[in-house]
Amino acid sequence: MAAPVHVMITGAAGQIGYALAPMVCRGAMFGPDVPIVLHLLDIAPAAESLKGVAMELVDAAYPLLKGIVATTDVAEACKGVEVAVMVGGFPRGPGMERKEVMGKNISIYKSQASALEEHAAPGCKVLVVANPANTNALILSTYAPKIPKENVTCLTRLDHNRALGQVSQRTGVPVSDVKNCIIWGNHSSSQYPDVNHGTAGGKPIREAIADDEYLNGEFVKTVQQRGAAIIAARKLSSALSAASSVCDHMRDWVNGTPEGTWVSMGVLSPGGDAGYGIEAGLMYSFPVTCAGGKWSIVPGLPIDERSRGLMDATAAELKEEKVLAEELIAAM
């Protein structure tokens, strides 16, 4: 058996962390033959809950789980980690201004970035989940300059999977046969879920559904607002689906995407034609393929006028977030 992969989950005592840890231990992230050492980090007020999570992981007797580090010390948690899943963050509460939330998250991600840079394994792969995910990832990348820029990503695979699921529901085609939807831009309600290049059961999605009004309207809004709909239904935010999508993101990044299939990942835009005209330096969701532990943006997809406008609108929101983050950092 191979050497264990050291995986850190921050916010590990929370909903997503509690759903994610057992999935990782069952091989959903890297495969059924890859052993794991879990590094679980949470804040001091959650220490007892974190202890309980670690106890349950021991009680589950997962064959792949070779060790647990459960701590509230960020340096201890980051030591030697090869994969970091950043679930912890400061949530936006009632009446809170976006600037206030971002200020608190900058402090969190600045500290965690420094710890990762100092203590993580060389080549550590980072996935930011906590919202605002794109901008939190950008902050982390800024404050951990030794971590290669291409190794810091954010989660838009949940949105991607939501799009696949909606197409499957509408067409009756199994979700495993729905491919190559795209999430462009921000992990927010400005994101653009694009079906123009996707297929369902081997047929173009627009042909399989044959309802452009739905695809240009209700479908887009359903994917954009799915998180809010789940909160309304469960009175809790998405956890199971988010955790599953984290595993999908990391598995494809490490093990590679299937031939002829792309996925959506939030990555730093290279700008120019390679970045579909999106400003360089924005953390933006693109269609990517993965091989050899590296992602590549799918090149040369034709972009129609409607798509261009929606892609630019979500980029504008990300640019606003970036400017706000820079202002807050400068004031620190």
* Environment class of 24 (CB within 10 Å of its CB; exposed 0-12, middle 13-18, buried 19+): buried
Q: Tell me which H or E stretch contains 287.
A: strand 283-291
Q: 3-class SS at 100?
A: helix
Asked if residues 34 and 25 have their Cβ atoms less than 8 Å apart, the reply is no
Q: Please report where in the chains the tokens 């100092």 appear, as a residue.
A: 118
Q: Which residues contact 291 (CB under 8 A, 6 or more apart)?
A: 256, 257
Q: Which residues of 230-241 are buried (b: 16+ CB within 10 A; e: fewer)?
A: beeeeeeebbeb
Quickly tell me which residue has 């007020």 as its tokens.
45
Q: Which amino acid is at 128?
A: V
- What residue type is 253 in one-letter code? W
Are 158 and 245 spatial neighbours (Cβ–Cβ below 8 Å)?
yes
Amino acid identity at 57: L
Report which secondary-structure segment, H or E, holds 288: strand 283-291
- Residues in the chain, total: 332
Active site residue 39: no
The DSSP bridge partners found for residue 154 are 128, 266
Which entry of 6, 39, 160, 187 is annotated as an active-site residue?
187
Show which residues are catalytic: 187
